[in-house]
Each structure stands twice: as structure tokens, then as C-alpha cells.
A and B are shown apart, each in its own frame.
Chain A
């Protein structure tokens, strides 16, 4: 019996029990739908992260204290014995030709108070170059200047959220706020930037880096950001910074993370996440496959006499086997196709109606979902089909 003939017979059999076929198919439809949607979300997240990181600036390098054992992201825990200092940053700025700007950073938390209002927020000790390196802009007033840093002035530039919380609509310029009970004069308000990686850039108070070191009583830096002169110079910048810092520290007790490496490590995390999501969705596809097997077993026992008749008129074992196998594959492939249409449709619909939502349907996920659904049909169809092909024709004929 030819394959076309088998498919025709399978479709006939399936259409003779439409509700049952549709319900069985639904298992596969949901499975494939889930696989495609979840992978689309994972892939979308990846695309989103790439875009965000590119937005930060692809010529960015981050120097963090402590040597990371593995490549990839910056080390999570900071070895307190290793430190980066403001002088390190100055040294890099002076000596490295491939670096355009350097931004030493001290990070801390603080309670910012104005009159009777207060807010717990992130305090970032920065230099003037920070806003260039991170591509941030002041809306009114000014950013921390080089003089502010050198003179260790107690001035601050507020993020939008902090300004809104403390001052509402009134003008904060020149007002005095207290950060951890130390008075600071407000000199500027940042432009609204929004959330990047769950970190709200608007919910920050910027103060001069040296002032921050005093405030937190430390001579260490949280990290040093460096902008290479161009994207092509990133590797050269990394090499130079490494050399310069080793010259000062006499050992490599720091880690330089480049934009590319960050992107890579984020991507690998998100790829894992995507696979995990896909696998969870895959489980529902397997459950759908079990549904197919179940219904095929019922079908085989219901159609025992049909199998007997077919065998009596000359069907060979492999004819019966392929008939039932094609039937289960037809269910799973058709279900897969419908699930794909639904999944792609929903993902496209979401992307269309919520452009900010990171959704990206990729071809490989479609191919994966479809081929997996066909595989499910084969895998869970073999046993019932084998059972059918093994039936004794006489027993089968006697069966009513």
C-alpha cells in the first residue's frame, strides 16, 4: 500500500470520528503551541537583552576588583583584599590611548531626605565622564563636574524618581537634601531613562565619587567603567587596561568584562532559559503523545474486525502497521501544524499589539516543534500499530 493511500485511509478513519480526533489532536496542538510561544518569549528576551546592551554602548568595558575564575560576567562576590582605587582610574585615563573616557564608580545605598520626606535609594559616586560613558543626560541643572569631584563637594544630581518622590512638582535646584544625614545641595535633575535590566536608572542619586568614598568611608571603587575610542578598539583597550593595572597592582587582581562578553554570558543564560521553557512545553507535547497512544489503542480494539477483514483480503502485517502508524502521525502532524499556526499567530499578535513585549518567533523553534510532534506521533503510535498488526485474523474476524 502506497504512502498516499495510507494517508487517505488515515484521514478517512480520523474523519469518521471527528470529535475524538479533534480532542486527541488538541493535546498536540497545545504542546506545539506552548513550545513555539515559550521559545518565542525566550528568544524575544534574548533579542531584548542584546538591544539593551547595545544601548549601553558597545565600546564599554567594565573593570571590577577580584579575579573571576571563569570568563563571562563580572564576579558576583568581591574579594575585599583586592581593590580598585580612584588613582587606578586616573592612571588608565592618562595612559591608555584606546580609552576615550573612564568612569570610576562607588556604589552604596542611602536614605535621602528632604524636609519630612525620605526615600531609600541607590547612591552612585561618579565623575563627570560617567554620563558620557553611560549615555545619560541632565534635564535641568548640571551633572557632577570634575571640580565637584576634586573638591569633594557635597552636591548631588537626582534621578527622576527620587526628585518626584522628594520634591513632587516643585523645583529642587539649590535645595539641600540629606543623604545618610549628610547635607548635599541639589545641582541637577537627570532625564527620564527608565528601567534597564530591572535596574531603575531614574531611582539613583549621583554624587561626586570622592565625596562618596568619604560618605562610605572607603578608598575602594565598586567598579571602573571605560569607553574605548571605538568599537574596534575594545580589545586593544582591554589589553592596555590590563597592562596598566598589572603595572600598578603587580598582579592581575581584577576582571575586565567587555560588552561582547556580557552579551555572550547573558545570551548563554537566556539560551538555557529558552531551552528550559521549551522543555517544559515539550512535556505537554509528550502528554499529548500519550493521548494519541491511548486513543490509538482504543481505536485498535474497536476496529479489530476491520483489521481481520483487511488481513483476510490480503493485508500484510506491515500494511496494518503502516495504516495505524500513519494515522497517529497524521494526528500529531496535523495537530502540530495547527499548534504552529496558533502559536505563531499569538506571538505575532502579541508582538503587534504590545510592541514593547519581547516576543520573537524563530524558524528553528517551528521546525523543532513540528518535527518533535511528528516524532511523538511515531513514538506513541508504534505500540498500538504493532499491536494491531499482530492480531490473529481469525480472532479478529470473530470479534464483533
Chain B
């Protein structure tokens, strides 16, 4: 599903060039549960942004479902982000002024889904993350764990091929962090491809595959539960 070949990313800071990623090659298959670990500054967030089509690599090629991302326009990238990728961020990144339902609706708005259908779908997904009774609450009226569940619902609402989570439990206490991970595990069992970026090894170990980055290079790519690699698709996540 996702193929990275010799990806490099160079940032220019003033006159200095910083190579954040160096010759990354990686393949992610449908249904995988992968965690990306490494110390801060190792380039995992940059890699995540490239995977999420938010950023383009300086060198190398990236194929998303066989399509070379480098050849796509900004609008086409936006469409991929909208329909095929779901993001979950450490700081939730919900819009503060609107309620949970409206936040979850957001990707559907940009997908051009009609209003009534949007509401229905957003409710459905919020119910799936156990927030059916909180849909009219604004983010500041929800706990961290609930906010992150709204964010997950938002990531799921367009039935994406892959969910990318950047330190999804970083701002949560252990208990709600655990709940979030349980949701992720459940989603993965239902067939959703998952990539979680973390620096917490105990979280990383819950994934089936751990890719370790250091100084912009993959130093370890370890499959923990061989039987799940390549993904047992058991139908949709619902």
C-alpha cells in the first residue's frame, strides 16, 4: 500500500542544510499495525508528515497505492489526506469553537458529503468511539482522552486506508492513554492500517512491527508477531 524508496528530506536553516531523513526505504502493507520509534530529533515526525502527504520528500520516491506522490498537485494531496488518510495528533488539534460532532464532520465537508448524511456518519463514528453522549460538547468541555477519541473519530469518518497517529497518548494520563491504544488495537483488528509515532517503548511494543529511527535513518525494523504481518483483513472495521 505504501512504498518509500530512498527518501531523503533536507531542510535549509539559514545557510545550513540539515538532512532530517536519509535514504529511508519502507513498505507498509494493508492491515499492518506499525510503530515508529526513536529519540526526539530522529526524524520520525518528518517521516510521518511525508507518509501523511503533508510534506514532500526532497529526494526519493513515495508511492501511495501505486501513485507517485511527488507528481501530485497540492489539491490532489489534499484529496488523498481527505479520503485516504486519517490523522491523530498529540495535541488533538480539534477546532475549539465547534462541538465534537462538527469537528468530526470536518473531513466530510471537504469531501463534499451532503449535510444530513454528514451528521449521520459523524454520529455513527462518534458512537463507535463511545462518545455518543458527548457529541454536542466543545473540546474544552471534554477530557483529554475524550478529545483524542473525537480526533480518532474525525480520522475515521472518511473510511481512510491508513491512520497516522503522532504521539497520540503523549498528552494523556496512563489510563486514558491505554483506552486510546485499545481503540487503536480494536480498529486494527477490524482491518485499519495503523502507524503510531511514539518515543514510548511500552506503547511501541503493542504494535506488530516496530521501526526504529535514529538520526534520520532506519536502524531497526522488527516484526513482533509474524502471524499478523501482511494483515489479516477481516472485512471493514465496522
Contact = CB atoms under 8 A, between A and B. Distances in A.
Interface residues on B, range: 20 to 34
A315 interface: yes
Contacts of B110: 1, 310, 313-316, 319
A95 B128 CA distance: 104
Contacts of B93: 305, 308-309, 312, 397
B88 to A, nearest CB: 10
Interface residues of A, number: 24
Interface in A302-325: 305-306, 308-319
B97 A311 contact: no
B98 interface: yes
Interface in B58-117: 74-75, 78-79, 81-83, 87, 89, 91, 93-95, 97-98, 106-107, 109-112, 115
B209 interface: no
B89 A317 contact: no
A319 B78 CA distance: 11
Contacts of B95: 306, 309-310
Nearest to A309: B93
B49 A315 contact: no
A217 interface: no
B106 A310 contact: yes
A394 interface: yes
B97 A314 contact: no
Nearest to B92: A309
Given A313-B154, A316-B78, A13 B97 contact: yes
Contacts of A1: 109-110, 112
B223 interface: no
A314 B89 contact: no
Nearest to A398: B45
Contacts of A312: 52, 54, 81, 87, 93
A13 B94 CA distance: 15
Contact of B78 (A308, A315, A400): A315
B229 interface: no
B122 to A, nearest CB: 12
Given A12-B97, A13-B97, A394-B49, A313 B106 contact: yes
A318 B82 CA distance: 14
Contact of A313 (B74, B87, B98): B87
B99 to A, nearest CB: 11
A309 B91 CA distance: 11
A303 to B, nearest CB: 9
Contacts of A318: 75
B81 A12 contact: no
Identify the 10 closest CB pairs spanning chains A and B, nearest first: A314-B82, A314-B110, A313-B107, A316-B78, A316-B75, A309-B93, A16-B97, A314-B81, A315-B110, A393-B54
Interface of B: 49, 52, 54-55, 74-75, 78-79, 81-83, 87, 89, 91, 93-95, 97-98, 106-107, 109-112, 115, 154, 158
8 contacts: A12-B97, A309-B106, A311-B78, A313-B82, A313-B107, A316-B75, A319-B110, A397-B93
Given A316-B79, A318-B75, 20 more contacts: A2-B112, A12-B97, A13-B97, A16-B97, A306-B95, A309-B93, A309-B95, A310-B110, A311-B54, A312-B87, A313-B87, A313-B107, A313-B110, A313-B154, A314-B78, A314-B79, A315-B110, A316-B110, A397-B89, A397-B93
